[in-house]
């Protein structure tokens, strides 16, 4: 009983249209609840997360480390987007509820882990009046005692104690580093300092190399994504809108996993020439292409990021196939370069060289290959636009705070996972492009793990060669006939 009563906020989070309960109702609602036994389940990867916290501890001896899970973000007035904990918090704990906070407190030469979580609140006014934390509104929390056992932390306290704890920590002038940008209340408590950015950098760089658990989660995300792509192909046969495509992919993501890892790009026809077309409000027309860039996020929050450009009628036209084959050859060259010891940028360089030569062969680029690739010209960028790779993991664009020397201008290392995603985009109003190619956009993307024996294509189960894509579509349609 003490746990849930202790976590009563001074001002429950309410909406403008909520009623003020009379005292008699409050009294009636707070009594006669049956205590549920404390569950002693343990996160199956709790030892792994403890090892990550231990590595972080060794990097910052004698320093308090404050890592928020983050808060719900408003979608419209008093409704919020579905909560997802910050990736670094999840990396160190394995999950988390809105408002949760992890603190690593110095203890001798190491740290002790302190986790603040929402407590159970049946038997309190908060239970039925607080829209954010009231268990009648949002469901049962894991609570303090269960969270201590589940996450394997040294100490766990109710979240209402966070403000006083942070105030005391700040007042004591202990060395503190804060992971910023996830919880405004935590950010306001501590003045900004350069050392905070260093903490974010450390965590990003720690996540650059994946362990076997992470690789298996990414394989799982790719496997579920394949099923989602096949759902899309089945729907594509009769669908009339990009919305139907997005809905089919999202349905599988929510059925078999946590969600999509990012906003789905379901870009039909000339929309495929817009790199991040997420409006998904256009029509599907026979004979056009559908560029589907989408990925399933597992319950562990690791996500796939896969792109296939599909012929809506089941077969590519001659012009579509010419562009598609060029992009496929470029991707193959890029994947082959995803080898430990190579520059991170080497897959990009090799893929772009193939693309530039192909653009010359198609008569679109009227320069030499050297001129097209000259850093002072980069003429190919008019049609290829973006880089070929980014890191992948808990975030679709993973490890974003890593130093350039460790990421963009660093070397590939065994255990890294990156995308290889070349593309060609011929805008519908581009006078430099022959009319027959205008409006064609093609991107092919796979998720590649760097291993000791060469690149492992985690998403290789999704066909990508032109003939194989057409056969894939035909087989799924035939099976549904």
Query: Which residues carry out catalysis?
Result: 78, 276, 293, 305, 386, 390, 397, 421, 425, 443, 445
Contact at 8 Å (CB) between 459 and 446?
yes
- Token readout for 468 is 């194989």
CA 297 vs CA 267, 396, 458, 479: distances in Å: 20, 9, 14, 27
Residue with tokens 């202990």: 174
Question: The dihedral of CA 342, 345, 349, 350: what is its sign?
Answer: positive
Contact at 8 Å (CB) between 418 and 391?
yes
Which alpha helices (DSSP H) does 362-454 contain, by range?
369-373, 381-384
CA 296 vs CA 2, 221, 300, 310, 463: distances in Å: 40, 6, 11, 18, 17
Contact at 8 Å (CB) between 410 and 385?
no
Non-local (6+) Cβ contacts of 413 within 8 A are 208, 209, 340, 450
Non-local (6+) Cβ contacts of 242 within 8 A are 266, 267, 268, 271, 279, 280, 281, 282, 283, 284, 290
CA triplet 377, 383, 388: central angle to 5 degrees? 90
- Helix 144-151 / helix 46-59 crossing angle, nearest 10 deg: 80
The bridge status of strand 101-107 relative to strand 64-68 is antiparallel
Angstrom distance (rounded) from CA 305 to CA 321: 23
- Token readout for 94 is 């394995």
- Helix 194-206 / helix 46-59 crossing angle, nearest 10 deg: 140
- Token readout for 425 is 């985009």
Angstrom distance (rounded) from CA 309 to CA 291: 4
- Token readout for 309 is 């450009």
Cα Dmax for the chain: 84
CA 293 vs CA 26, 151, 272, 381: distances in Å: 50, 34, 10, 20
Angstrom distance (rounded) from CA 291 to CA 265: 7
């Amino acid at each position: 009983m003490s746990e849930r009563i202790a976590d009563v906020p001074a001002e429950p989070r309410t909406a403008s249209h909520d009623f003020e309960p009379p005292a008699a109702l409050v009294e009636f609602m707070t009594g006669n609840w049956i205590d549920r036994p404390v569950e002693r389940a343990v996160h199956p990867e709790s030892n792994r997360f403890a090892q990550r916290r231990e590595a972080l501890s060794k990097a910052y001896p004698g320093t308090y480390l404050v890592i928020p899970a983050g808060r719900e973000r408003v979608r419209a007035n008093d409704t919020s987007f579905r909560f997802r904990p910050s990736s670094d918090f999840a990396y160190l704990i394995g999950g988390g509820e809105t408002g949760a906070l992890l603190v690593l407190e110095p203890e001798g030469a190491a740290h002790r882990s302190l986790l603040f979580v929402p407590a159970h609140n049946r038997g309190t006014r908060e239970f039925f009046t607080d829209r954010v934390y009231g268990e009648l509104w949002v469901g049962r929390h894991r609570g303090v005692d269960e969270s201590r056992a589940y996450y394997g932390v040294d100490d766990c306290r109710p979240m209402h104690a966070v403000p006083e704890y942070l105030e005391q920590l700040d007042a004591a002038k202990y060395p503190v580093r804060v992971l910023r940008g996830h919880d405004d209340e935590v950010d306001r408590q501590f003045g900004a300092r350069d050392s905070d950015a260093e903490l974010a950098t450390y965590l990003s760089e720690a996540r650059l190399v994946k362990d076997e658990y992470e690789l298996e989660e990414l394989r799982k995300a790719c496997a579920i994504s394949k099923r989602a792509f096949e759902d899309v192909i089945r729907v594509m046969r009769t669908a009339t809108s990009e919305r139907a495509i997005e809905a089919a992919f999202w349905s599988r993501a929510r059925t078999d996993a946590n969600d999509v890892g990012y906003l789905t790009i379901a870009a039909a026809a000339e929309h495929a020439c817009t790199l991040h077309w997420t409006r998904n409000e256009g029509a599907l027309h026979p004979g056009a292409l559908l560029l589907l860039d989408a990925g399933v996020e597992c319950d562990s929050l690791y996500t796939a990021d896969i792109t296939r450009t599909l012929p809506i009628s089941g077969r590519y036209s001659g012009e579509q196939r010419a562009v598609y084959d060029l992009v496929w050859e470029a991707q193959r060259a890029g994947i082959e370069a995803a080898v430990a010891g190579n520059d991170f940028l080497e897959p990009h360089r090799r893929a772009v060289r193939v693309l530039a030569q192909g653009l010359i062969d198609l008569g679109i680029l009227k320069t030499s290959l050297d001129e097209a690739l000259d850093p002072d010209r980069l003429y190919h960028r008019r049609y290829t636009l973006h880089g070929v790779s980014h890191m992948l993991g808990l975030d679709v664009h993973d490890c974003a705070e890593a130093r350039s020397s460790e990421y963009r201008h660093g070397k590939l290392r065994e255990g890294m996972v990156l995308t290889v995603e070349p593309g060609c985009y011929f805008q519908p109003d581009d006078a430099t492009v022959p009319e027959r190619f205008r409006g064609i956009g093609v991107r092919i993307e796979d998720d590649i793990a760097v291993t000791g024996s060469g690149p492992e294509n985690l998403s290789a189960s999704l066909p990508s060669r032109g003939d194989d894509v057409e056969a894939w579509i035909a087989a799924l349609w035939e099976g549904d006939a």
